[in-house]
Structure 1
Amino acid sequence: MAIVLPQGRLNNTNDEYIRKFIMERARILAVVGLHGNTFKPHTGTKTSVLFLQRYTEEELKKINAVQSKYEKQWQKFLEEIKTLAKKTNLTEESLPEELTGFLNSFYGSYEEEPEAEDNDKENGEEALKAETVEDLYEAIDTLKEEIETLQKEIKNADREKKKELTKKLKAFQKSLAEKEYSLGLKTLTGRLNILLNDGKDSEEFHKFWLRSKSAKELSYPIFMATSQKSGKDNSGEYVYKKDSSGELMLDENGHLIIDHDLDFIAEKFIEFAKKQRYDFSRESYKYKSEMLMAAEEKAKYGK
């Protein structure tokens, strides 16, 4: 089967569940990126065509067996990560590939914080607004002092005042947690500790790791192409082929020829499919085989 999807569905973090749904049920045969003018004038959204083939029962059994194998290795790997988290001066190079990939995709790309002076030169006013590690440490210390003071005041306050101070205390505690979280994201060690101590994040990494390890073992080639000529201009009007003299070209039926490259891409995909020995009609072949066997049985035994 083939489906057309906005490219964002293939790239956005929030749409990972769509990609997961597809990959768990079908093999991706090809991904063809379409030109931005393809669906104009109706929309200029960048889209891609996915060519898929549903897994057979045998293929699903193989996939499940591989996933089960790595599931058994998860606890050992998790202990290794906990040991890494205790080290200082961690670098991305010292982390397993799957872990680095998850940290960057889940929490955003990690970059060491530049010197304040260089940061100001490059980013101007925005740099002044950004919270540096020093800013966060200072804010955290201030909040801790405020919280300690409030806790003392609450002990000696009357009922009404205590209610007011308690509300203020909760706001400060929430702000403190947010600042500590932001500080954690500033370093690899901090990110790693957030990952290990947050149940939801840990579970997401568990799933990510399992898929990554399984995908490596179950990897297969995918035909990739990008259309450079859509056959339309920026207004959505069709563009037709011209000969060397600038005259419009006609096909064998006297029709104008749209100037696109999808036919060329289709030919290359067919070549790729033949090399990979793709079977685009498994079900029909199975049906034909069963019909042939039934016919042979009838001819042999007269049934």
Structure 2
Amino acid sequence: MKLGGFASSEARAEYEAVYERGLAALPAPTGTHDIRTEFGVARVYRFGRPGGTPIVLLPGRAGTVVMWEPNLKALIGHGEVYAVDLIGEAGRSEQTVPIRDGADQAAWLTTVLAELDLPSVHLVGYSFGGWLAANLAVRAPERLKSLTVIDPVLTFGGLTAGLVVRATLTAVPVVNRWARPSFLRWISGDAEVDATDPVARVIDEGMRTYRIALPSPRLFTDAQLRSLRMPVLALIAGRSVIHHPERAAARARKLLPQGQVELWPSATHAIAGEAADEVNTRILTFLSECDAAGKTPS
């Protein structure tokens, strides 16, 4: 099996310049960690100060820590926030061993939480990061006080045919120059993408310069979703193109034992950024409820 990596040293240098500008748009990290795992080194940024159960953020594909720019300032108000660049994706993490399946994905993330000495966390994932978060919850839930998934891919519903076709085109060298911006517009509800936006720039540059070699995620079974005993907040974008939103929300409501499932009718798959204030408020309310429920009366 192959490893993920940049197309060339020149491609990496071009990506790094964009990534650095993206980092500059974020609050200053209070710590930077490179965590060695069986599958490579995971770059993790720490923001904020201790206070309450830490939040761990898993980005969407090519999003890196930079994609949380619209959300970090609000989430830091809850306490410490750890943002992970995913192994096998563009960013500052480095893949050294092939990742074969969901068990491997859960294994490296479990190591990250253990090495950071985080016995209890609120895990938050967006899109592919939402699948990674749910995958960890299914396979190794011990450290998870709660799970939040924001329009997660292949979690409550299968991929649409349009997503498969368009995502494939972004990886074809002959056409990806126009396919990448077209894909980003389409996934954002045909909204024009600001070419100067640091989040959009990092995602586009990651898609252009990095070659992913990860297994395709598998849709979770009914039994796996029923096994999630922690509180789960699922925000489903009503105009999402990655799955059929109504069906995904209905399946989540049916199967999650402690699920709070919300279908946001006007939101696109870019919900975390386009509705940042509302998403931030909803997540923080949910986390406060989880923290309060976990306190022992004196």
Q: TM-score normalized by structure 1?
A: 0.19
Structure number with the higher strand fraction is: 2
Structure number with the higher helix fraction is: 1
